[in-house]
Amino acid sequence: MIKADRAAVAWDPHKKAWRVRIQIGEEVIKRPASGHKVSREAADDMLRGLAVATARDDGYELDPAAVSIAR
């Protein structure tokens, strides 16, 4: 697996779902988290897990400590 540098999780008010932004070097991948039912009030640990799972689904390894959360 390729190691991702960092990720950010943010709420998308239009789609009413979380969006995960994964950065690998200069490349940025944006994925909706619509396949995972996570509420807007979810705990930070759950959102970090969501980012790690989303990155893994795309073939990337992500350290949960490298995930930022924008509420």
User: Per residue in 34-47, pLDDT tens?
Assistant: 676 889 999 999 99
Looking at per-residue pLDDT, the higher value among 65 and 34 belongs to 65
Q: Which residues sit opposite 12 in a β-bridge?
A: 17
pLDDT at 34: 67
User: Contact 40/52 with Cβ under 8 angstroms?
Assistant: no
pLDDT at 66: 98
DSSP 36: S
Pairwise CA distance, residues 17 & 12, whole Å: 6
Q: Which residues sit opposite 18 in a β-bridge?
A: 11
> What integer is the mean pLDDT of 49-60?
95
